[in-house]
Amino acid sequence: MKKIILTAASVLAFAGAAYAAEAEGVVSNYDPATKMIMLESGETFTVADGVEVGDLQPGGKVTITYDDGTTNATAVTPAE
């Protein structure tokens, strides 16, 4: 029984990773109170708890990794 549970947990862990997507763009606004990032394209993302965003400033380029099908940002990285 333990083997079946561990296998199911492993599959679910990898399934979550398979549904990540990325967006690149220029920050038009970041509100730390609501944890919302808006890009100049009009896309908005909610930063998940525990995700470091650094010093986001309007005009800065970023790459946002998010859960596909949602707008929950799981990583925010300055783009070079």
Cα torsion angle, 9, 71, 26, 21, sign? positive
- Domains within the chain, CATH numbers bracketed: 20-78 (2.40.50.320)
Q: Which pLDDT band holds residue 19 (cuts at 50, 70, 90)?
A: confident
How far apart are alpha carbons 68 and 71 in whole angstroms?
Answer: 7
Higher pLDDT, 79 or 51: 51
pLDDT of residue 6: 42
- pLDDT exceeds 50 at position 44: yes
CB 60 within 8 A of CB 39: no
pLDDT of residue 15: 52
Secondary structure element (H or E) that encloses residue 12, with its range: helix 2-18
pLDDT of residue 4: 47
Q: What is the mean pLDDT of residues 45-51?
A: 95
Nearest alpha carbon to residue 37 among 2, 72, 10: 72
How far apart are alpha carbons 29 and 36 in whole angstroms?
Answer: 8
